[in-house]
Chains A and B, each alone.
Chain A
């Protein structure tokens, strides 16, 4: 159980286009999902926290108009990279928290397999 999927697994796009990445919790409901970005040989950087039915909370330095996050249901969050440029090329990873979590631990967060974005 506790599977998180991402779609697509990789995408190549032209500079100036927008790209949407989906994150789904397959066998549990997630009130909270998190979006990370990871550059080669670096750690994961938290971009934003996505809460079902409300606006996402962005980390400092992350442009909310550039990275649009929508968490419309308890099993789906989307990240849209708008007007993508080569510097947005990265590995984007989401994680989801089981709504049954009662806190007191972070193992209720399950990570997706990641999406490789390449902007030409």
Chain B
């Protein structure tokens, strides 16, 4: 069973900031939190990873509270090409995918 829970779908508009929150209540001490993006008929693509507090790269930011029972992926100023499924994952061994969040960006 997937360890994480996230919204099934979200809609937003171009130019907006999008925040996707994930719950991982059973996160273990050694687990990292990782987010992947997947376009139709493609393999998942790594977006960002963190352990605690805040991580930022050229694509997104990841916010992790002190208790680490949730995380929020923040996508700044989304465009139509950000329409994809986003997966939140926890762990440091094999990856078990949850259902992901289907993000739909509208013009």
Binding site for B on A (CB under 8 A): 4, 6, 34, 36, 43-46, 49, 91, 93, 95, 103-107, 109-114, 116
Contact = CB atoms under 8 A, between A and B. Distances in A.
B49 interface: yes
B41 A116 contact: yes
A111 B94 contact: no
B17 interface: no
B15 to A, nearest CB: 28
Main DSSP-derived SS at the B contact region: loop
Nearest to B30: A104
Size bracket, chain B contacts: 20 to 34
B43 A106 contact: no
Contact of A107 (B41, B42, B43, B46): B46
B99 A44 contact: no
Nearest to A2: B46
Interface of B: 2, 30, 32, 34, 36, 41-46, 49, 51, 87, 89, 91-100
Given A93-B43, A111-B44, A105 B49 contact: yes
A4 B43 CA distance: 10
A113 B49 contact: no
B42 A43 contact: no
Contacts of A36: 97
Contacts of B96: 46
Contacts of A93: 43-44
A105 B95 contact: no
